[in-house]
Structure 1
């Protein structure tokens, strides 16, 4: 029994690594979820995945609720097991998937937080300065807001990925998927100033091709970028907390509010599923008011 379960899990993890190209963190989460279920199977006297029935899947779900896990955690565990069984079905190792009809707990619908255009302007003004780090920080902010890339994608950006002539960057996203993202004139000016004036002095004697570097000359990490953004907020004296993902939300929201179609925004964000982009279809109260005043005959 143990060998079969171990072999099946090993095959699935290989599939996630090689075919799906998931990150180490992601496939280790899958491994953890499945190993938790193996513990449940042992407690229930189930010797193989083939013995697991819909009733057992429901019983496992009930146990997760009794442990008072968050809905998102429960959904992730059930989704992991559903994917695991689906893989084994595809490989013709199993004929059934007892988790196919298990209802996942509904997620809380939270609108993503974003900045209004006036707030972005205040933050941009806080980026102004003549020091090497000021020039770098403005380039980071302009690029994050101007492209909507993830903080990890920003940290991993290499000099060869930046095409100033075409005003595009080559971004390596989740699952090593690549996409080209355009950037505007403001981001281009900020990047040009940073790469020509600031980066050569910051990098010192080190030799690497990371676009953004820290004050010691090493490649800037995602954590380092978060700290920079927090300092910009402090300098701007805004009460709102900032995160790189909040700038991503703002990028998408401002595009949609100004008439961009959802498919284009999906492509720019690197979302594989349109449903991940649909969360940004909310509009601000200001935008609703402007639309109403502009188009309603009795406004």
Structure 2
């Protein structure tokens, strides 16, 4: 799957975990992955549901199982796919958590560039909001993926697909300031291609940057619910609020399907309805 589908390490790790759970369950009832029946798979899914697994996790788990058994059938390890008739749990539309434009302004204003770490963070936050990158895409950027002259960043997203995203003036300025004032101090003489290195001069983890976001949100007195993708959601929602075309937002986010991007239209419509009710004289 890694070689053919180009799936990310995180996706592969999730699939591996799902199949490990299934293998252990089957072993407890005297079965193996290769001789599991449809009834055994249903019992496993029911057992996981009773453990309190979320519907989204259950759906991904079922996807893991189906991929695995389709692979076994394709390679003639088994004759019939026991997962073929299993129903995917119905998922409601989950509206992503986001920030208002005022909250984003407060968040972006928090890092102070008299400190090398905060100067780096300021550039990262500005870039995240300007481009809608996933946090995993942000921390894995290298110098060669950035073109300040053209005002573009080349991003390698899911499925190893590249896309070009414009930086915007504020992000451009923040990155230029960081490169001139802070990056060399962070590297302390080391050589690195990583655009935003950690204190040790290495690629930062997603978890580390997530903690940095929470740190600045706390300083900015932002009480809204945050997630690692909060600024990505804000980027998409605010673009749509200001009249951007949905397909343009899809390309910028790197979504393979427009249906994935459409969730943001619901967020934008809810926000517009709220603004109308608050500010229109007959709202």
TM tier, shorter chain? 0.7 to 0.9
- Which residue number corresponds to residue 166 of structure 2? 182
Q: Return the TM-score normalized by structure 1.
A: 0.80
For 2:22 and 2:117, locate their aligned partners in 1 and report how far apart those are by CA, in whole Å: 49
Q: Return the TM-score normalized by structure 2.
A: 0.84
For 2:72 and 2:214, locate their aligned partners in 1 and report how far apart those are by CA, in whole Å: 46
- Which residue number corresponds to residue 166 of structure 1? 150
Matches within 5 A, 1:146-295: 146-282=130-266, 283=268, 285-288=270-273
Matches within 5 A, 1:38-117: 38-41=23-26, 49=34, 53-117=37-101
- Which residue number corresponds to residue 26 of structure 1? 11
For 2:13 and 2:108, locate their aligned partners in 1 and report how far apart those are by CA, in whole Å: 39
Shift of the alpha carbon at 1:260? 1.9
- What are the Cα deviations for residues 113-148 of structure 1, in whole angstroms up to 9, with x where unaligned? 111111112222323543333332221111010011
For 2:145 and 2:162, locate their aligned partners in 1 and report how far apart those are by CA, in whole Å: 11
For 1:61 and 1:225, locate their aligned partners in 2 and report how far apart those are by CA, in whole Å: 34
- Which residue number corresponds to residue 115 of structure 2? 131
Shift of the alpha carbon at 1:64? 3.2
Q: After alignment, is 271-280 or 55-64 more displaced?
A: 55-64
For 2:33 and 2:143, locate their aligned partners in 1 and report how far apart those are by CA, in whole Å: 51
Shift of the alpha carbon at 1:112? 0.6
SS state of the match for residue 101, structure 1? coil
For 1:158 and 1:48, locate their aligned partners in 2 and report how far apart those are by CA, in whole Å: 41
For 1:213 and 1:33, locate their aligned partners in 2 and report how far apart those are by CA, in whole Å: 32
For 1:134 and 1:52, locate their aligned partners in 2 and report how far apart those are by CA, in whole Å: 53
SS state of the match for residue 19, structure 1? helix
Return closer, same or farther for 1:95/1:256 CA change in 2, 3 Å cut-off: farther
- Which residue number corresponds to residue 37 of structure 1? 22
Unaligned runs of 5+ in 1: 1-15
Shift of the alpha carbon at 1:26? 3.0
SS state of the match for residue 86, structure 2? coil
Matched, 1:118 2:102: yes
Return closer, same or farther for 1:20/1:96 CA change in 2, 3 Å cut-off: same
Unaligned runs of 5+ in 2: none
- What are the Cα deviations for residues 213-250 of structure 1, in whole angstroms up to 9, with x where unaligned? 33454443323322322232232222235443101111
Decide which structure has the larger Cα Rg and report it. 1
- What are the Cα deviations for residues 20-62 of structure 1, in whole angstroms up to 9, with x where unaligned? 233444334323433443455556666784x655444434433
Shift of the alpha carbon at 1:291? 6.9
Return closer, same or farther for 1:178/1:286 CA change in 2, 3 Å cut-off: closer
For 2:132 and 2:191, locate their aligned partners in 1 and report how far apart those are by CA, in whole Å: 28
Relative contact order higher in (CA < 8 Å, ≥ 6 apart)? 2
